[in-house]
A and B are shown apart, each in its own frame.
Chain A
Amino acid sequence: MRMRKTATACAAVLALAATATACGGESGTAGDKPAGGDVYSGTYRPASGVKVDSPVLQKAQKAHQITIGVKADQPFLGFKDTSGKYTGFDIEIAKMVAADLGFSDKEIVFKTIDSNVRETTISKGQVDFYVGTYSINEERKKQVDFAGPYYTAGADLLVARDDKSITGPMSLRGKKVCSIVGSTPLQEIKKPKYGADTIELSKYSDCVKSLLDGQVAAVTTDDAILKGYAAQRKDKLRVVDKPFTKEPYGVGLKKGDKALQGAITDALEKHIKNGDYKKAYEGTLGKSGSPFTGDTAPELPLPRG
């Protein structure tokens, strides 16, 4: 009899949850507004009559839909709010490229892809291309091709605001450092010369959470990503600001698709020249504490694979 009551109670809870969700509630985005005001979100005029000899692109054009892999948990870079809208610098870059390939905003489908499945999803074609703090390196070039770089970040450290003991990668000996599986800063910090103890999770936001809980002493990844987290939690976290690697961000695409690689490189160059790039940067990453300078944009022309 008691069990029956439990079951009834559960059914009641479920029904309640269902009606509660059905009735709506306050509109707007839950949680604080991102620091520095709203993140910029531009629109770019889609090019018409784009002809690129790439099977991936031709298929997307036929379907009038392009799937772009992005990050969803990196404020000012690639961030998804509760309404499902993606914002950030990487998102802007993705939109610029998509526009030049002939896709309007409505025809873009963003798909959240965590770092540890990037190679799998790109090489197996789950996404048409990928824009999400994706550093170009030799290891990855074996599996995917890159266009760009469109930005150069550097591995840095995120620490607790009141932690004065960590001044750079060399002061990490014996300390716990969090990073994510398959990221380049992780490979770097694992080198014996730093003597750091690594914790590998699957999302940077999980690492930040561990740092806030005191589980780890530092989080390492690219400064651009870390500054976004620090800006969100100004009174708790700070970035050490001593980059110890160079991480050139590229647009990842299926290996061997030279035509698409060329088209994306063209698109990046065009938007860097016409000022869209600067505008997007200032409206996104620029608000997290790294202003636009002469070296922000990559040198043109971009390398051609």
Chain B
Amino acid sequence: MSGASVLYDAPGPKTKARNRLYSIVGAVAVVALIAFVIERLGAKGQFKPEMWNIFNYADVRNNLRDGVLTTLEVFAVAAVLSLALGVLLAVARLSDHKPVRWLATGFVELFRAIPLLITIYVLWVILLANRDALGLSGNGPQFWALVVGLTAYNGSVQAEVLRAGIVAVPRGQAEAAYALGMRKTQVMTTVLIPQAVRAMLPTIISQLVVTLKDTSLGYIITFEELLYTARQMSTNIIVNGSDTYVPVIIVTGVIYVAMCLALSGLATWIERRGRRTKTGVAPATAAPAGDPATAADTGKDPAATP
């Protein structure tokens, strides 16, 4: 079933009129809901110019910028490491050696089952206790606890995604490669993984969006990323005797949504490029901006998990 339009007939004159009525009612309802929210917040003085004037101050902007940069820094390191770990685990899970396979499976299942928040918290306590031995100082333990936690969880998920991609490559490809005299490593790195990555890119990037969002869990271990900074500012900046929670939360939310959408935009773009060539494995189905992780169409490809 390709489009939703199959679900209803091309409207006749009567239906058209009725749909128009529904449209108006629907639009009114949506607008009324938004208006209600805005009106209630306005009544509490949340839209007064003074409230929003705080973003004109250099300090506030610098804090926001530093928060965004810290978030992006954690994300960049965690993204690279989790992809590397994902490849490693995926290959290990397909290994011919039983112990390797078991170890990888155990790792993946363990870290996918435990809440990331707990992983990060435990890693932090462990890193803090051993910070001298590891040569970490200042923000080091927090940073690495967050990065390693994100890597362990997202790496496990990426491994499953990649494994599904590798399994989906037609068996003839690997057989042909072996027939040409390639070794196991060569087959994996030059034939299977490139095709798997291409096929699974949309899902991989949706999981990267999850990674980006999850950097906000750093608040639990006093790591000052975007959300932590925003929280601090929202209660410490007092205007007219009330907190600036609403403006700060709205601005922070917009920044996060924009960052994530930019990343999913990348997914759409890559997918469109991938579609041009018809060889090899078909890329997983559309993961356009805002609604990625629908690669689960067949029910067997793992989708990105929130």
A169 to chain B minimum Cβ distance, whole angstroms, is 25
Asked if A117 and B258 sit within 8 Å, CB to CB, the answer is: no
Check A25 for interface membership: any CB of B closer than 8 A: yes
Q: Which of B56, B129, B222, B269 contacts A4 (CB 8 A)?
A: B269
- Given contact pairs A13-B258, A21-B65, A212-B243, A73 touches B58 in the complex (Cβ within 8 A): no
Q: Select from chain B the residue with minimum beta-carbon distance to A111.
A: B222
Which of A11, A26, A28 is within 8 Å of B262, CB to CB? A11
Contact residues of B between 50 and 79, Cβ < 8 Å to A? 53-65, 68
Q: Which residue of A lies closest to B260 (CB)?
A: A10
Q: Is the interface of B mostly helix, strand, loop or mixed?
A: helix
Q: Are the CB atoms of A21 and B64 closer together than 8 Å?
A: yes
Q: Which of B138, B232, B238, B261 contacts A232 (CB 8 A)?
A: B238
- Contact assessment for A125 and B128 in the assembled complex, using a CB-CB cutoff below 8 Å: yes
Given A3-B268, A26-B56, A20-B240 contact (CB < 8 Å): no
Q: What 1/0 mask marks residues of chain A from 105 to 147 whose CB sits below 8 Å from any chain B CB? A: 0000101111001001100111000000000000000000000
Q: How far is the CB of B294 from chain A (nearest CB, A)?
A: 13
Q: How many residues of A contact B (CB 8 A)?
A: 55
Mark each residue of chain B from 221 to 243: 1 if its CB lies under 8 Å from any CB of chain A, else 0.
11010000001110111111111
- Whether A209 pairs with B61 at a CB distance below 8 angstroms is no
| Chain B neighbourhood of A83, CB < 8 A | 59
Query: Chain B residues near A30 (CB, 8 Å)?
Result: 53-54, 57, 59-60, 237
User: Of B63, B131, B231, B269, which is within 8 A of A125 by CB?
Assistant: B131
Cα distance A63–B137 when bound, in Å?
11
In the assembled complex, how far is the CB of residue A202 from the closest CB belonging to chain B, in whole angstroms?
9
CB neighbours of A8 from chain B (8 A) = 265
Please, what's the 1-or-0 string for A217-234, where 1 marks a CB less than 8 Å from any CB in chain B? 000000000000000111
Question: In whole angstroms, what is the CA distance A113 to B221 when docked?
Answer: 9
Residue numbers in A under 8 Å from B125 (CB-CB): 120, 124
Q: Is the CB–CB distance between A32 and B238 below 8 Å?
A: yes
Docked Cα-Cα span, A8 to B62, in Å, equals: 25
A81 to B221 CA separation, bound complex (whole angstroms): 21
User: Contact: A32 with B64, CB < 8 Å?
Assistant: no
CB-CB under 8 A from B238, the residues of chain A are 31-32, 232-233
Q: Number of residue pairs across A and B with beta carbons under 8 Å?
A: 147
Give chain B residues whose Cβ lies under 8 Å from the Cβ of A18: 65
Residue contact B261 to A6, C-beta cutoff 8 Å: yes
Q: Does A47 contact B (CB under 8 A)?
A: no
Task: Assess the B235–A82 pair: CB atoms within 8 A.
Answer: no
Tell me the residues in window 75-129 of chain B with beta carbons closer than 8 Å to chain A beta carbons: 125, 128-129
Whether a CB of chain B sits under 8 angstroms from the CB of A188 is no
* In the complex with contacts A10-B258, A111-B222, A112-B232, A29-B59 CB distance below 8 A: yes
Given contacts A11-B262, A83-B59, A120-B128, A234 and B235 within 8 Å (CB-CB): no
Q: Assuming A22-B65, A82-B63, A233-B242, what are 17 further A-B pairs, CB within 8 angstroms? A: A6-B261, A7-B265, A10-B262, A11-B265, A14-B258, A21-B62, A21-B65, A30-B57, A30-B59, A73-B236, A80-B236, A112-B222, A124-B128, A205-B235, A205-B243, A212-B243, A236-B242
Q: What are 23 of the A-B contact pairs (CB < 8 Å)?
A: A3-B289, A10-B257, A10-B262, A11-B265, A14-B255, A28-B59, A29-B57, A29-B59, A30-B53, A30-B60, A31-B239, A63-B137, A73-B232, A82-B57, A82-B236, A82-B237, A112-B224, A120-B125, A120-B128, A212-B242, A233-B241, A233-B242, A234-B241
- Return the 5 tightest CB-CB contacts between A and B, nearest first: A7-B265, A205-B235, A124-B128, A31-B237, A82-B59
A-side interface residues toward B, CB under 8 Å? Answer: 3-4, 6-8, 10-11, 13-14, 17-18, 20-22, 24-32, 63, 67, 72-73, 79-84, 109, 111-114, 117, 120-121, 124-126, 203, 205-206, 208-209, 212, 232-236
